[in-house]
Every structure is written in C-alpha cells, then in structure tokens.
Amino acid sequence: MKSNRQSQILELIREHEIETQNQLMEALAARGIKSTQATLSRDIKELRLIKKASPNGGYCYALPVNDNTDERNIRLRKIFRECVVSFDTAQNLVVIHTLPGLANAAASALDNMDMPDLVGTIAGDDTAFLAMRDAQKAVEFCREIEAML
C-alpha cells in the first residue's frame, strides 16, 4: 500500500506541477488512493522530494537533481559487509555481532540507509541491537543480511 502510494506520488509529480500537499492528496484521491496530510508529509520526506521553481512562476514538488542515494547505499552496504561477523533474531530484534570496535560503524551505516522497517539501533563495542517493526520484518532483514554477506 505504502509503496504503491509512493510510486503514484512519483508518477504524479513527474506528470503534473503539484504545488501543495492538498493538491497531491486530491490527485491521489482521483486515482483511488486516500491519504492524510500527515502520511503525505512522511512520504515526501522519505522520497526526499524538494520544491523547485515551476514554469508558471510558483513552486512544485520534484525529485532532487543530484540524488546520490544509490551510491551512498552501496558505500554503506560495503562498510556493513566488512563489519559483520554474525547475526540472529530475537522476536522483533536483530542482534548483530561485528569485529571489535565496529558495531557503531555498522549501526550508523544502517541508520543512514533508507530502511522504513528499521525503528532504531543501539550499538556497543562489537554488538548492535536493531529494533525492527515486527518479528516478520526482523526475519526478512536477516535474509537481506545473508544476501548482502
């Protein structure tokens, strides 16, 4: 639902000059997607949308021109791969063991990735705890770690 809404938002801002969240909400509603202003505000933040000058003299939503998100995520994943020794789940928590002194680097890398199911991290010297939205998300994330390593 969220990914569909966000892909519709991206499509709308590419096709139309959307100047306000209210216009965006109405355009989504016309496509059968109901949303609140608070949800749209979070979507705009997660999608990293900006406002740029439009041809009609106003401002409209757009994607950043120089978005290095993919490059940053590649670098962060490399750091993460080089730090992690082992990992496991405990309900909605993922426990990650790293090389000595690198748990903070791994947790910081994760905090800076675009991971909506990661609620937060706590790191010590060689162990990091990751709070995921629920137990299923923790299991899914462990599968991603496995693929990453």
pLDDT at position 46, please?
85
Half-sphere exposure of 33 (CA within 13 A, CB side): 18
Architecture of the structural domain at 75-148:
2-Layer Sandwich (3.30)
Q: Please tell me which residue, 108 or 1, carries the higher pLDDT value.
A: 108
- C-alpha triplet 90, 91, 97: angle, nearest 5°: 30
* Domain boundaries 2-62, CATH class: mainly alpha
**Residue-range domain boundaries for the chain:** 2-62, 75-148
Does position 95 have pLDDT exceeding 80, yes or no? Answer: yes
Comparing 146 with 65, the larger pLDDT belongs to: 146
Q: How many CB atoms lie within 10 A of CB 122?
A: 12
> Helices marked H in the chain — which ranges?
2-15, 21-30, 37-46, 69-83, 103-111, 135-148
**Mean of the pLDDT values across residues 57-62?**
90
Beta carbons of 53 and 59 less than 8 angstroms apart:
yes
For the entire predicted model, the pTM comes to 0.53
What's the pLDDT score for residue 113? 77
> What pLDDT digit, counting tens, does each position of 114-136 carry?
788 999 999 999 999 999 999 99
pLDDT score, position 20: 93
- Cα dihedral 104, 124, 46, 144 sign: positive
